[in-house]
Structure 1
C-alpha cells in the first residue's frame, strides 16, 4: 500500500468513558471532527407508570475511534473520556471486521425468527447472506431448539447472541484469529 504525502494509516481503537457518558463523549468527538462510532440498540425500559423504548449503547462505557495511533491520546482531554483500551501495554486495535459486525448488529430495526436449518455444526464460522444482518461474520451455536450465531469482538473480549434464520447462513472457512 502506497501512502500519499501527509496521509497516515488509521486503525480503530476503543476509548473507555465514564459510566453513562457514551452519548456525550460521542457528540463531543463528532464536534471535533473525530471519526467515532457508538453502537446503539433499542431496548424497552419499565418505569413504575409506563414502558418506554430507549436507545442505549450496545457496549457500556466504550466509544470507538478511527485515527492514527500517535493522535489517539488527543481524545483523553475530551470531557467524559477515561482512557484508551490497551493490550500488553499498547493501544488495542479493533479489527475493521469487528466494527463492521457492530454496525450490522445495530443497523437493523427488525427481529429475526428461526427457520429451516442448513448443514452447520456448533463452532462453524458463518456469513449471513440475506436479511438485515447481511455481511455479518459470526460463529454458529445451537441451544436446544434455538439456532443462534454468536458475534465475537475478540479485541474487547465480548460476544453477542443473535437469532438469525439458519437458511440465511452459509459456512465459511475458519478465520485466523489475530492477536493484537
Structure 2
C-alpha cells in the first residue's frame, strides 16, 4: 500500500471470505502487505483410514485485517475476499483488545467452541488466573455448566470456553 499511515489510523476489520477460502485469502492479503489475522484451531480429524491433526479456521469464512479506512478497496480486490462486515450501516471495526483476547484464547490449551446462538448477556466477569488471565467476558448457563462467554461484538457469534468458577472475579 503506497500511502504511509500512523498506527493510530489502523483499525481491525472483520472481512467475510468465500466459502472454504480463508487460508488462500489470508495468503493473498499478506502477499499484498496487508496485516491480517486468521484464527486457526487445531483439531484431530478422523478419516476412514487414518487420523490427522489439522488447523481449521476458528470462525468459518472470517479473516481480520488491520488497515486504514482508505485501504478497504484494496482488501476487497483480493482473491477470496467477499465483503466487509457491516454493523448499523457502517463497516464494522473491532477494538485491538478483542483481537488480542482472541489470540490469547488460541494460545491456551483449552478446547474452544464457536456458536452462532443468540446467547443472552449475563454477569460480567474477568479471569483472574491461568492461561486466560485478564480476559473479560460474561457468564452464561449453557448445557448446564458454568462457562465463560467471550462475546465478539459485530461478528454475530460468540466463543464459549470452559473455565472453573474459582478462576473468575465478578466485575
TM-score (norm 1): 0.79
Residue in structure 1 matched with residue 170 of structure 2 by the alignment: 171
Q: What are structure 1's unaligned runs of at least 5 residues?
A: 113-121, 173-180
Runs of 5+ unmatched residues, structure 2: 113-120
Structure 2: distance between partners of 1:15 and 1:51: 32
TM-aligned CA distance change 1:85 to 1:144, over 3 Å: closer
Do the aligned partners of residues 143 and 19 (structure 1) sit closer, same or farther apart at CA in structure 2, a change above 3 Å counting? Answer: closer
* Matched residue, 1:176: none
Specify the SS of the correspondent of 2:104.
helix
Check the 8 A contact 1:95/1:155 in 2, yes or no: no
Question: What is the alpha-carbon distance in structure 1 between the residues aligned to residue 72 and residue 21 of structure 2?
Answer: 19
With normalisation by structure 2, the TM-score equals: 0.83
Pairs within 5 Å for 1:36-51: 36-51=36-51
Aligned equivalent of 2:87? 87
The one-character-per-residue Cα deviations of 1:48-76 (angstroms, maximum 9, x if unpaired) are 11222211111111100111111112111
1:155 aligns with 2:154: yes
Look up the match of 1:34: 34
Deviates more, 1:87-96 or 1:39-48: 87-96
Matched with 2:138 is: 139
- Corresponding residue of 1:17: 17
Q: Give the C-alpha shift of residue 88 in structure 1.
A: 3.2
RMSD: 2.2
Q: Secondary structure at the match of 1:162?
A: strand
- The residue number in structure 2 matching 1:74 is 74
Which has the higher Rg, Structure 1 or Structure 2?
1
Could you say what secondary structure the match of 1:93 adopts? Answer: coil
1:96 is displaced (CA, Å) by 2.2
- Between the aligned partners of 2:5 and 2:63, the Cα distance in structure 1 is 26
